[in-house]
Amino acid sequence: MKTKSKAAAMLLMASTLLVSSACSSGNETKSNEPSDNPSPSATSKEDNKNTTETDSKKIKMRVITLTTDENRNNIMEKFIKPNIASALPNLEVEFEPGGGGEDMANKLKTLNASGDMPDVFWNDAGYFTPLKSTGSILDLTPYISKDGFLDKYAVPDALKHVDNGIYSLSSGADTYFTPVIFYHKDMFEEAGVQVPTTFDELIQISKTLKSKGMIPAVTPGKDGWGPKLFMLQQMIQIGDPQAMADLVSNKTDFNNPSVKEGAARIETLVKEGVFPDGIANIDYGPAMEMFTSKKAAMLWMFTWELPNLAKDETVDFFPFPSASDKYSPTENVQFWGSPINGYAVNGKTKNPEEAVKLAEFLAMADALYFESTGAPISLQTGNQAMDRSPLMQKFVDWYNPIPNKIASFALNSLDARTSAEISTQGANLLTGEYAADDFNVAMNKIWSENTWFDK
């Protein structure tokens, strides 16, 4: 299944290159480029050569974007590289890999501290506030209202930050990402267990799965990834969605009994052996592999992996089961997006107009990619809607009607320090050697020092 997708990707890449080289017939340097070598900078370097020869007036742009996950690489190779020259002929764009996560944040921080920010970059909640305070991030509202890009969004208001500015452009695919529990139907059958509807049932079936020699569930735990990004939030909201919504908007804290129960549930999960040994040090890749190779029966993961996982017919998903009657999976759900995640423009760029155009192009490339995977997006590409896989259809049918969508705690409530400390504390919880009470005491202190809501 993996090799198939790779072959398909190669084919697609080769054909796009073929098409683009056919289009630019007479452009010798480009057609000399071997078609099995669609490497990013080779192409852009060749382009540079052309441009200096033919048109020296091109405006130089520097872009730093995410480069570490599979989706991002696909977007770069299939949607950005092949089309950028024709879409933005007056620009000479240099892409700089940003890595991801911590590396990306460190890099942007260093660049910002030395006044060397790129023209366009991937913005993230982790470094948004300080970037804004130094004027390194542009309010895009006037630009995108004027050129009509704003109208391409299904819900334009969703782009607005709390201060009503628009700082980032994205495909809107983010708002359709939510954590669910993926599982292998055949493994459940083999163990003779049903999809659980309550938290207690979840524990029960995990014990059964474990007794059959399977790993019940896996999720990335290294550096507290899972706990920070969704697990804590899920474990709180399956008991009391209102408490979770209040926490996201800073109306309550870690003294709230409903909030405290969240950490206690994680402790229970770990103690009851729902996760494999060493979950606190399992990275994203190995966690995925444990599930796709059927060592683990369940994978707790965001739906951005759904298109990949849906290729295996035994994979299905269910929402997080409830722990009290205050919660129902058809009434409440966590959504991922944040208006500040997306392509942002440097407030100090020399060519804001062109930089915004570039950001728009990049956001559209994202949209085209996610659309091609069958994922729902909110930036309209003007293409016909694609056929969705049954699993994606099942997801959309479940997700869209849910009335109460709670924003992600990790993206919408934490300053850099709080975010880092939650990672630390969350990883601690996963060791099973750290009591939920200690977690809540520590979190309360960290939460009281959170500067996110200071404005």
Partner 1 sequence: MNKYFSTKVSIFVFAFPALLLFTLFCVYPLLPEIWMSLHKHDGFKNLGFVGLNNYKEVMASPSFWTAHKNTYLIVAISLLLGLPLSMMLSLFIDAQTPKFRRFFKTVAMFPAILSVTVVAQIWLAFYEPNWGLFNEILHSLGLSSWTHSWLTEKKTVMPSIGVTFLWQYIGLNALLFYTGIKTIPKSYYEAALIDGANYIQVCLRITIPLLQNVIKYVLILSTLGSMAFYSHVRVMTAGGPGDLSRTVIYQMYYTAFDTSEFGKGTAIAVIFILECLLISFVIQRYVAREKLEF
Partner 2 sequence: MSFKGTLPEKNWSFKLEGSFLKLLSRVFWVAVGCTFLFPLYWMVTMSLKSKSEAYDNPFGLPTSWDWLNFSEALSKYHFYTYFENSVIYTTGTIVITLATGSMLAYCLSRMQWKFNTVMLFYVSMGLIVPIEVVVIPLFQLVKWMQIKNSHLGLILPYSGFAIASCVLMLYAFLRSLPKELEEAACIDGANVYQTYIKIIFPIVMPALVTQCVLIFIRIWNEFPLAFIIASKDQFRPLTVGLLGFFINVGVTDWGLIGASMLLSSLPMIIVYLIGNEKIENALTAGAILK
**Could you say which residues in the range 58-117 bind partner 2, by CB under 8 A?**
67-70, 73, 94, 96-97, 99-100, 103, 106-107, 110, 113-114, 116
Q: Give the nearer residue to partner 1 in terms of CB position, either 220 or 307.
A: 220
99 binds, among partner 1, partner 2, none (CB under 5 to 8 A by kind): partner 2
- Residue 236 interacting with partner 1 (CB under 8 A): no
Asked if 222 and 283 touch (Cβ cutoff 8 Å), the reply is: yes
Q: Give the nearer residue to partner 2 in terms of CB position, either 73 or 444.
A: 73
* Residue reference for tokens 């991922």: 336
Binding mask 392-421 for partner 1 (x = CB under 8 A): -----------------------xxx--xx
Distance CA 129, CA 415 (A): 8
Distance CA 290, CA 285 (A): 9
Q: Please return the burial class of 12, using the count of CB atoms within 10 Å of its CB with bins 0-12, 13-18 and 19+.
A: middle
Q: Residue 40 Cβ, how far from partner 2 at the closest point, in Å?
A: 8
Which of 29, 41, 129, 380 binds partner 2 (CB under 8 A)? It is 41
- Residue 7 interacting with partner 2 (CB under 8 A): no
- Closest CA relative to residue 339, chosen from 137, 181, 63, 146: 137
- Residue 312 interacting with partner 2 (CB under 8 A): no
- Residue 66 interacting with partner 1 (CB under 8 A): no
| Whole-number CA gyration radius for the chain | 23
**Could you say which residues in the range 267-296 bind partner 2, by CB under 8 A?**
283-286, 289, 293
Q: What is the DSSP string of 306-325?
A: HHHHTTSTTEEEEPPPBSST
Which of 157, 163, 387, 433 binds partner 1 (CB under 8 A)? It is 433
Distance CA 309, CA 5 (A): 11
- Residue 425 interacting with partner 1 (CB under 8 A): yes
Which of 28, 36, 55, 102 binds partner 1 (CB under 8 A)? It is 102
Asked if 398 and 330 touch (Cβ cutoff 8 Å), the reply is: yes
For 87, 206, 340, 423, the CA distances from 276, given in Å and listed in that order, are: 48, 11, 35, 19
Q: Residue 443 Cβ, how far from partner 1 at the closest point, in Å?
A: 13
Q: Give the nearer residue to partner 2 in terms of CB position, either 45 or 207.
A: 45
417 binds, among partner 2, partner 1, none (CB under 5 to 8 A by kind): partner 1
Q: Residue 50 Cβ, how far from partner 1 at the closest point, in Å?
A: 37
32 binds, among partner 2, partner 1, none (CB under 5 to 8 A by kind): none
Q: Which residues pair with 56 in a beta bridge?
A: none
Distance CA 124, CA 343 (A): 9
Within 10 angstroms of residue 362's Cβ, the number of other Cβ atoms is 26
Binding mask 294-323 for partner 1 (x = CB under 8 A): -x----------------------------
**Could you say which residues in the range 113-152 bind partner 2, by CB under 8 A?**
113-114, 116
- Single out the segment in contact with partner 2 by CB under 8 A; choices: 33-41, 129-137, 209-217, 269-277: 33-41
- Closest CA relative to residue 66, chosen from 54, 74, 57, 56: 74
**Phi (first) and psi of residue 7, to 5 degrees:** -60, -45
- Residue 278 interacting with partner 1 (CB under 8 A): yes
Distance CA 96, CA 122 (A): 11
Q: Which residues pair with 64 in a beta bridge?
A: 96, 121
Within 10 angstroms of residue 78's Cβ, the number of other Cβ atoms is 21
36 binds, among partner 2, partner 1, none (CB under 5 to 8 A by kind): partner 2
Q: Please return the burial class of 403, using the count of CB atoms within 10 Å of its CB with bins 0-12, 13-18 and 19+.
A: exposed
Distance CA 226, CA 430 (A): 10
**Could you say which residues in the range 341-400 bind partner 1, by CB under 8 A?**
none
Q: Give the nearer residue to partner 2 in terms of CB position, either 40 or 165.
A: 40
Distance CA 323, CA 408 (A): 20
Size of the site for partner 2 (CB under 8 A): 33
In this structure, is the dihedral angle defined by the CA atoms of residues 437, 439, 441 and 444, taken in order, positive or negative? negative
- Residue 231 interacting with partner 1 (CB under 8 A): no
- Residue 37 interacting with partner 2 (CB under 8 A): yes
Tokens of 30: 């480009």
114 binds, among partner 2, partner 1, none (CB under 5 to 8 A by kind): partner 2
Distance CA 56, CA 146 (A): 29
Q: Give the nearer residue to partner 1 in terms of CB position, either 61 or 131.
A: 131
Catalogue the E-assigned strands of 139-201: 179-184
Q: Where does this chain bind partner 1 (CB under 8 A)? A: 102, 105-106, 109-110, 112-113, 127, 130-131, 133-134, 215, 222-224, 276-281, 295, 415-417, 420-421, 423-425, 427-428, 430-431, 433-434
Binding site for partner 2 (CB under 8 A): 2-3, 36-37, 39-42, 44-45, 67-70, 73, 94, 96-97, 99-100, 103, 106-107, 110, 113-114, 116, 283-286, 289, 293
